[in-house]
Chain A
């Protein structure tokens, strides 16, 4: 019965070591504090056990002591806080040039779509030692993408994207859990992350490929009529989308936002809300007309227009986006 009783979770991502080190530090700190309090309790309890004729000695208190045991813990807490913040920022910031995977959660399954075009359900194949960025949304309720071996977790919300990333460091198969209660089969919404050696992974990819996701998006872009307005010159009634992704965009109401996945999503589903400056509110909403998977494909396509070499000339002139922040934006690529 005890053969299979782990006391420490597997450690299989670049973040896992950071989280474990912090956790062990916390174990030591809180272990010492517990030891201090408990040994004082036990010592006092034994030493000052009531004895007839020995009355308690009344002590009012001591401000220096109060300050000591306020300030020292606060100092220790600040160390924990800062260290925790550093690890958290690392875990929340996907490195550039990560491989992208679109995740659509629904009651009660995970649908995963690789940028290369592979679609999987409740299983995700990834190569070892590659940064993988997850662009996640839900079709219904809130779910949470949790891989204990990677020490990473991110809630997956309906109506927007949340981003997570990991870099697997050890080939193997790891649990993928839904960590946010989502209804009847919540505990059945589990899957596997299969981490493979690069060669194995290439073999898997070539055996399953259906063409990249951005190609599917390009087809949709034409079918849905997007391309009639979003032209690749300066003549379109909508902004030229070349090079837009990742850049600041100036909106009609004067705000400047970064054109990330959530911005593109909002523009497709609710075009008037964050309209680009200089364009008329003529785009219809695609709410209810495109599925989450189609949205992923469209966004993957728009993103591909910002990758060097894929869409040729970066005709910034055609895009009314971000005249103000063009200087800042041009440093990006």
Chain B
């Protein structure tokens, strides 16, 4: 059954990391694994920039008065925090790093379908990132990450065009990654790797890729229109020029709502893999989990105007979008119940990846349930544009997507680096992240219901205590994020060598070396088993193992 049986030897085998040396071998690589690492370094850089902005925001909000920075600076901080985190960290995070590394391995392919396009996507990302840095260093932008018109087209006197251009450019890297995954998953599966045997990580990435390919062009067009109105005074969104400001919001959210699913679907895929491995079980309801990813991608495109219930749209339109928003909640609920059911009668291990997965389920559940409040027309009238919304989407994007990303990084780190990370530290970091996260964002739900609007630089005194709690939590959270960064780097040099399959996990990526060789497999794998065949893996060398299914 096993392809590469040799476990770790003292002599280093040739692998994708040591095959070639020198900066040129990295900058001109077409190996999906090396490109994944290029992305890892780049998005980590932007994560810490975005995190630094978040830290300044929290420090400013420590007191009700505006005292740490100027109002204009504060407005730029939350704008660029949002833009950097959404477009330069969260959207590429799991797909471009873990997806890039794992999609070919998991389907049993030598590389992605278009290796050069894969490299191109990274260069486009870097170009977009350079434009964003340029925008920040030459003054920044203060429109909010949402670019609402006519503020962005006629009133803001900051670097709107530069920021729009950066996001326009980086969108193409997202489109190319999505395209590459779709073609790879369709065309490059190993013999025997049927759709029904694909790991659910692949299903999640497939759904994500569809959104990336269909949705991203819309934000690109929208930003071009913003630039056209701002620079050329074409009347599109500004009523003074005959435009309609709500048109912008429709176009913006048509992409930016599905973009939330670009962030969360891959994290769901990661968590599914982790739970199966650490409960030593096949996933409960494989088909339902797989199809719920597709359902989320499809319904996700039909709910955008739930961001606009008080924006001035018709009450009947609001009614339809509220109803559809509840429809998209069902497949998310299905996933949570299936993960929970997978634990039933499992044999559960508590290694760091599993702690992140538990954290993910808890925080995603709370983020999802508070989404029900916001989709509810009567409640949204009150909590829209308050800290309730901020708390809700951070539970999804940070509590969900970032927890999933960190869980995945720990789970696959032995495969990526060939080294083991220090387990004790990793469990501690998972705990710190979980506590810090809740301390940061739970008080914001209360702040929101009390009525504190978002994007407030100064605020009435009665909101202070909850803001202090939130800032304290952010400090804890920051420590929790620094720890993995430190011990991952440490483990690259000092970590124990990892065996090919340290978790005894299912999936083709574990049937090759750690780290894998350049073309992933010595010989093309042939798949004769279902995904998550943990029964076979755990059976102690028995013969005649009945294949489940």
Contacts and interface: CB of A to CB of B under 8 A. Distances in A.
B330 A73 contact: yes
Given A151-B382, A154-B310, A38 B362 contact: yes
B311 to A, nearest CB: 5
B386 interface: yes
Nearest to B280: A56
A178 B453 contact: yes
Contacts of B370: 30
Contacts of B124: none
**Which of A50, A56, A155, A158: most chain B CB closer than 10 A?**
A56
Interface string A88-117: 110110000000000000010000000000
Interface residues on A, range: 35 or more
A55 B537 CA distance: 11
A215 interface: no
B361 interface: yes
Nearest to B349: A50
A80 B450 CA distance: 21
B538 A78 contact: no
Contacts of A40: 340, 343
Contact of A22 (B148, B378, B538): B378
Contacts of A142: 148, 150-151, 245, 311
The dominant DSSP class at the A interface is: mixed
A250 to B, nearest CB: 22
A48 B279 contact: yes
B195 interface: no
A146 B341 CA distance: 43
B251 interface: no
A84 B548 CA distance: 46
A187 B67 CA distance: 13
B457 A58 contact: no
A74 B372 CA distance: 11
Contacts of A144: 310, 385
B72 A7 contact: no
Most buried by A among B71, B75, B385, B458: B385
A311 B504 CA distance: 87
Contacts of A60: 282, 284, 286, 548-549
Tell me what chain B mostly uses at the interface: helix, strand, loop, or mixed: helix
B340 A55 contact: no
A54 B281 CA distance: 13
Interface stretch (B213-221, B312-320, B479-487, B510-518): B312-320
A50 B330 CA distance: 31
Contact of B372 (A18, A38, A80, A181): A80
Interface stretch (B112-120, B162-170, B171-179, B461-469): B461-469
Contacts of A55: 280, 347, 535, 538-539
Contact of A50 (B348, B376, B377, B456): B348
Contact of B312 (A48, A49, A51, A160): A160
Contacts of A33: 365, 369
- Contact count band on B: 35 or more
A187 B449 contact: no
B163 to A, nearest CB: 15
Interface string A164-188: 0000000000010111111111111
Given A9-B449, A45-B348, A158-B245, A153 B382 contact: yes
B360 to A, nearest CB: 11
B378 A84 contact: yes
Contacts of A151: 381-382
A162 to B, nearest CB: 5
B160 to A, nearest CB: 12
Contact of A6 (B338, B347, B377, B450): B450
Contact of B334 (A1, A50, A66, A107): A66
A85 B378 contact: yes
Interface stretch (B22-30, B259-267, B321-329): B321-329
A83 B244 CA distance: 31
A57 interface: yes
B340 A37 contact: yes
A59 B343 CA distance: 10
B465 A1 contact: yes
B41 interface: no
B378 A88 contact: yes
A113 to B, nearest CB: 20
Given A26-B372, A56-B279, A41 B362 contact: yes
B133 interface: no
Interface string A52-88: 0011111111100110011001100110110111111
Interface string B56-67: 000000000010
Contacts of B385: 144, 146, 153, 179-180
A247 B72 CA distance: 47
A89 B314 CA distance: 11
A19 B379 contact: yes
A235 interface: no
Given A41-B358, A48-B346, A186 B455 contact: yes
Interface in B380-433: 380-382, 384-386
Interface in A198-213: none
B345 A48 contact: yes
Contacts of A141: 148, 150-151, 154-155
Most buried by A among B238, B345, B349: B345
Contacts of A80: 326, 372, 376
A260 interface: no
A38 B322 CA distance: 27
Contacts of A65: 285, 337, 341
B319 A85 contact: yes
B210 interface: no
Contacts of A330: none
A1 B156 CA distance: 38
A83 B358 CA distance: 33
Contact of B455 (A70, A84, A160, A187): A187
A15 to B, nearest CB: 8
B460 interface: yes
Contacts of A181: 75, 144, 146, 148, 151, 454-455
B298 interface: no
Given A26-B373, A55-B538, A153-B385, A49 B348 contact: yes
B336 interface: yes
A59 B283 CA distance: 8
Interface string A23-36: 10010011001100
Contact of A81 (B322, B336, B450): B322
Contact of B365 (A37, A58, A61, A160): A37
30 contacts: A7-B446, A9-B449, A37-B362, A41-B361, A44-B348, A45-B343, A55-B280, A57-B281, A58-B281, A58-B534, A59-B284, A60-B548, A61-B284, A61-B286, A62-B285, A70-B330, A70-B334, A74-B327, A81-B322, A84-B375, A85-B322, A87-B381, A91-B378, A92-B315, A141-B154, A142-B151, A155-B311, A157-B246, A179-B386, A181-B454
7 A-B pairs closest in CB distance:
A148-B451, A159-B239, A87-B378, A88-B377, A84-B376, A61-B285, A30-B369
Given A59-B344, A142-B148, 4 more contacts: A48-B347, A84-B375, A157-B245, A157-B311
Interface of B: 66, 71-72, 75, 142, 144, 146, 148, 150-151, 154-156, 238-240, 244-246, 279-282, 284-288, 309-312, 315, 318-319, 322-323, 326-327, 329-330, 333-334, 336-338, 340-341, 343-350, 358, 361-362, 365-366, 369-370, 372-373, 375-382, 384-386, 446, 449-451, 453-462, 465-466, 534-535, 538-539, 548-549
